[in-house]
Amino acid sequence: MFKRLVAVPLWFVSIWLTYGLVAYFTGLPENAGAILGALIATLVFLDPTEVFWGATQPTQVATRTAPGLDGSHSTP
């Protein structure tokens, strides 16, 4: 979760500034950069297709068996 919280503002600012640079040279409306940045940052945070963060794996609990119960130990 920490990675997501750090990545969201970085994505927002990078998309906003990149759009601003493109808008400066092409004449696109400059106000759309913040909206596009917020949209992309939201998609990165939510990650509906699990592309950025991967699927969360359930944690496994280690179990130990008593000697002789699993069939590997023989009794004298």
DSSP 20-68: HHHHHHH---TTHHHHHHHHHHHHHHH-TT-SSS-PPPPP-------TT
Distance between CA atoms of residues 46 and 59, nearest Å = 21
Average pLDDT, the chain: 80
Q: Report which of 20, 9, 8 is spatially closest to residue 44, judged by C-alpha positions.
A: 8
Full-model pTM: 0.63
Q: Is the pLDDT of residue 27 over 80?
A: yes
